[in-house]
């Protein structure tokens, strides 16, 4: 049984005060939504404050990125050791890291391994760019990102994979539910070949890319899609609450 998973990726938005206000406005209601794992991923500087606010709640905390070394001369970087004191989850391999900050599959792989050493649960992001999609290379790209990202790791039973087609992120142009479900099915098959069918069957694979309260049902009502990674819409409490509660209601009917 896969517990549905909804995470808000706030990206480089919110000051500490704004982050606290955002959490304050949705804390009680979000806490009460059952049957869905709810994760907030604010910027690094807000992790400590938000961690305190989320104590005694059912809401989990995640970081948006990290370095792979535990400590050292890496000016400006944040280490897995530092975030593991505050968070349970870490987003790795987000397309904005891959394309705007030149993160390679090899670096993502090092980060995945570092997350495991530090008992952080990775949310591994994969997804093709528009030109790759149009050239029919979606499966090649995703298979490579999965295999390289998870190279030489033991099966990770709590791994979350987010399928985020790059052309759908922040563009308002989401994939269709059917399209996303087909690619997520492909991701599950790839993981089954890499590890085992049983393990792959239990992993949460979610969709991300222009998810809003208006279109989340289209994704969540697909058996294959276990939840959503939400960017822009997670910055509005009423949007994120609606996304989480729709997920709870729709998934409970599918069970």
Q: Name the site residues for ligand PGA (rule: CB under 6 A).
A: 9, 164, 169-170, 208-211, 229-233
**Would you call 164 a catalytic residue per the annotation?**
yes
Is 181 or 229 the residue whose CB approaches ligand PGA more closely? 229
Residue 110 near residue 71 (C-beta atoms within 8 A): no
C-beta of 164 vs 195, nearer to ligand PGA: 164
**Three-class DSSP category at 33:** coil
Q: Quote the CA–CA distance of 96 and 166 in Å, as a whole number.
A: 9
Catalytic pick among 128, 132, 164, 218:
164
CB 161, CB 204: distance < 8 Å: yes
Residue 171 CB, shortest distance to ligand PGA, in Å, is 7
Q: Which of 37, 67, 94, 218 is catalytic?
A: 94
- Nearest in space to 220 (alpha carbons), one of 31, 60, 35: 35
Handedness of CA 18, 24, 25, 27 (dihedral sign): positive
Cβ proximity to ligand PGA: between 80 and 127 the closer is 127
**Closest chain position to ligand PGA (CB):** 231
Distance of CA 148 to the CA centre of its chain: 18
> For ligand PGA, which is the closer residue by CB, 222 or 234?
234
Catalytic-residue membership of 154:
no
Q: How far is the CB of 54 from ligand PGA (least distance, A)?
A: 20
As annotated, the active-site residues are: 94, 164
């Amino acid at each position: 049984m896969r517990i549905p998973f909804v995470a808000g990726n706030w990206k480089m938005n919110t000051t500490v005060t704004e982050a606290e206000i955002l959490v304050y406005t949705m804390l009680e209601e979000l806490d009460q939504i059952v049957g869905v794992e709810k994760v907030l991923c604010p910027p690094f500087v807000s992790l400590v404050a938000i961690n305190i606010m989320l104590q005694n709640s059912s809401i989990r905390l995640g970081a948006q990125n990290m370095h792979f070394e535990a400590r050292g001369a890496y000016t400006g970087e944040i280490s897995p050791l530092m975030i593991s004191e505050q968070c349970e989850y870490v987003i790795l391999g987000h397309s904005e890291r891959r394309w705007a900050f030149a993160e390679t599959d090899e670096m993502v792989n090092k980060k995945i391994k570092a997350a495991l050493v530090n008992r952080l649960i990775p949310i591994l992001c994969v997804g093709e760019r528009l030109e790759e999609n149009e050239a029919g290379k979606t499966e090649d790209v995703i298979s490579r990102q999965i295999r390289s990202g998870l190279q030489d790791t033991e099966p990770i039973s709590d791994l979350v994979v987010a399928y985020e087609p790059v052309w759908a992120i922040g563009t308002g142009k989401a994939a269709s539910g059917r399209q996303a479900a087909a690619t997520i099915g492909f991701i599950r098959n790839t993981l089954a070949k890499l590890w085992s069918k049983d393990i792959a069957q239990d992993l949460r694979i979610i969709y991300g890319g222009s998810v809003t309260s208006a279109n989340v049902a289209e994704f969540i009502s697909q058996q294959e899609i276990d939840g959503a990674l939400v960017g822009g819409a997670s910055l509005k409490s009423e949007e994120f609450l609606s996304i989480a509660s729709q997920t709870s209601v729709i998934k409970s009917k599918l069970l």
